Amino acid sequence: MPIQSLLDFRDPSICKRLVIKIGSALLVDATGQVEAEWLRTIVNEIATARELGIEVVVVSSGAIAIGAKKLDFPDGGRRTLAEAQASASVGQIELASVWSKLLAERRLVAAQMLLTLDDFESRRRYLNISATIRRLLKSGVVPVVNENDTIATGEIKFGDNDRLAARVAQACDADGVILLTDVDGLYDRHPNDPEAERLAEVRGITAEIHDMADSESGSGVGTGGMTAKLLAAEIADRAGIALAILDGRPENPLARAMASQAGTIFVPQREDSGRRAWIGGRMRFNGSLTVDDGCVTALRDGNSVLAAGITRVAGNFKRGDIIQVLDVAGREIAKGLVEYSADDVEAIMGKQSGELEAILGHAPRSAVIHRDHLVMM
């Protein structure tokens, strides 16, 4: 399926709302300067899209790469966390100012949104993100999003902006995500290998597809390599959103991509409702349940998680938390909203439904995770 038929940023009947993510390697040159002339060509493309009635949200990397050069900090992996965070705060103000200036040249207003992974994991904050982006778009503003790197660390961090872009797309119900990077799509092995071949289209991000990707950034300034882009493609897929990985290096990269057959398009294979897509895109959990093989089969047939199929409980979750469901080999097979605390599940696991009331001392819920709140991976 050609990219144009899913992600044409020149046709609002195909793609009304688009998230465009720009990687560090494209935005910042080796001396830490923003590639302003190149960026101006993208801003022109965004302005053209807006004139046609297409709404665009930008996810822009680059703050750390800009700031680290300004502060004369070491490259990539050799920086301390404090140096990376200081770099982000110095770089972000410049990044925002360049976006604001270039968009203003095309009479567009820029809005800065700095978000962390936690903001997407809390349902209330996620809905606030959604409402703010929608309101900005309604006023013709171009939101420019980045991770709030000065405060986000370790397990509360996306790290790469690819998954951030997919979560933003999910939050604002976009039709598509374009990841502009320094390679023209997903190759069947690292593109340094002369035998590597590009995949034009992917339907379903299988283990075989994941195996093609490397998490090393080719440029050294990006984060997460192709691995992060595939995780982003999975999040988009679950939300029914098309995602493309395109070569951002030439000027006017969007128009060029539309005119050629380059890049990789991930054609969505499912469309979960907003709430289910939010559950499916979650990345942090307060715990997990391990279930037996019979339960895995039942879940794949669309059933709920019952106490009888649970063999192990981990973590300290409360009723209403989103937790992982694992098979006996430890593979994640589902995520869902749990109806009991970890202590209660510990008490009832392995028991038949008829035994639960006596153990709990009150009428049990119909399931430990009801199928309406369960998203299969």
Ligand X SMILES: N[C@@H](CCC(=O)OP(=O)(O)O)C(=O)O
Ligand Y SMILES: Nc1ncnc2c1ncn2[C@@H]1O[C@H](COP(=O)(O)OP(=O)(O)O)[C@@H](O)[C@H]1O
- Tell me if 24 contacts ligand X by CB under 6 A: yes
- Tell me if 170 contacts ligand X by CB under 6 A: no
**Angle between helix 161-171 and 225-238 (nearest 10):** 10
| Whole-number Å distance between alpha carbons of 112 and 93 | 10
User: Is residue 182 annotated as involved in ligand binding?
Assistant: yes
Contact partner, 218, from ligand X, ligand Y, none, Cβ < 5-8 Å per class? ligand Y
User: Is residue 24 annotated as involved in ligand binding?
Assistant: no
**Phi then psi for 258, rounded to 5 degrees?**
-70, -30
- What is the secondary structure of 299-314 as a DSSP string? HHTTPPBPGGGEEEEE
User: Is residue 44 annotated as involved in ligand binding?
Assistant: no
Four-point Cα dihedral 138, 140, 146, 151, nearest 10: -60
User: Is residue 21 annotated as involved in ligand binding?
Assistant: yes
Q: How far is the CB of 109 from ligand Y (least distance, A)?
A: 26
User: Is residue 148 annotated as involved in ligand binding?
Assistant: no
Q: How far is the CB of 61 from ligand Y (least distance, A)?
A: 6
- Tell me if 183 contacts ligand Y by CB under 6 A: yes
- Hey, which residues between 191 and 220 contact ligand Y (CB under 6 A)? 191, 212-214, 217-219
- Hey, which residues between 81 and 120 contact ligand Y (CB under 6 A)? none
Question: Is 239 in contact with 281 (CB distance < 8 Å)?
Answer: yes
Contact partner, 177, from ligand X, ligand Y, none, Cβ < 5-8 Å per class? none
Nearer to ligand Y, 23 or 364 (CB): 23
Amino acid in position 183: V
| Whole-number Å distance between alpha carbons of 78 and 98 | 27
Q: How far is the CB of 239 from ligand Y (least distance, A)?
A: 20
Q: Whose CB is nearest to ligand Y?
A: 23
Q: How far is the CB of 81 from ligand Y (least distance, A)?
A: 19
- Tell me if 168 contacts ligand X by CB under 6 A: no
Strand partners, 287: 315
C-alpha distances out from residue 85 to 54, 90, 164, Å: 34, 9, 18
Residue among 3, 7, 20, 61 that touches ligand X (CB under 6 A)? 61
Contact partner, 274, from ligand Y, ligand X, none, Cβ < 5-8 Å per class? none
Question: Is 32 in contact with 65 (CB distance < 8 Å)?
Answer: yes
